[in-house]
Homo-oligomer: A and B are copies of this chain.
Amino acid sequence: MTFASETIERAIEALTLLPTIGRKTAQRLVFFLLREPKETVETIASALLALTEKVQLCSTCYNFTDTDPCAICASPRRNRSVICVVESPSDVVVIESTHEFSGLYHVLHGTLNPLEGIGPEDLKIKELLARLDENVKEVILALNPTVEGEVTAQYLSRLIKPLNITVTRIARGVPIGSELEYADEETIARALQGRVPL
Residues of A within 8 A of B (CB): 1-8, 10-11, 13-15, 17-21, 25, 27-34, 38, 40-52, 54-55, 63-66, 70-72, 88-90, 92-94, 96-97
Contacts of A30 in B (CB 8 A): 51
Tell whether, in the assembled complex, residue A38 and residue B52 are in contact, meaning their CB atoms are under 8 Å apart: yes
CB A60 to nearest CB in B, in angstroms, measures 12
With A5-B55, A28-B20: A10-B41 Cβ-Cβ less than 8 Å = no
Residues of B close to A45: CB separation below 8 A? 44-46, 48-49
Task: Tell me whether A3 and B93 are in contact (CB under 8 A).
Answer: yes
Contact B17 A28, beta carbon cutoff 8 Å: no
> Which B residues lie within 8 Å of A6 (CB)?
66
Which of A14, A21, A50, A51 gathers most chain B CB within 10 Å? Answer: A51
- Let me know if A8 and B55 touch, CB within 8 A: yes
Residue of B nearest to A73 (CB): B4
Known contacts being A7-B50, A44-B14, A48-B14, is A27 close to B90, with CB within 8 Å?
Answer: yes
The answer to whether B8 and A64 have CB atoms under 8 Å apart is yes
The 9 closest A-B pairs by CB, nearest first: A14-B47, A45-B45, A7-B54, A11-B47, A38-B52, A14-B44, A1-B97, A5-B66, A7-B50
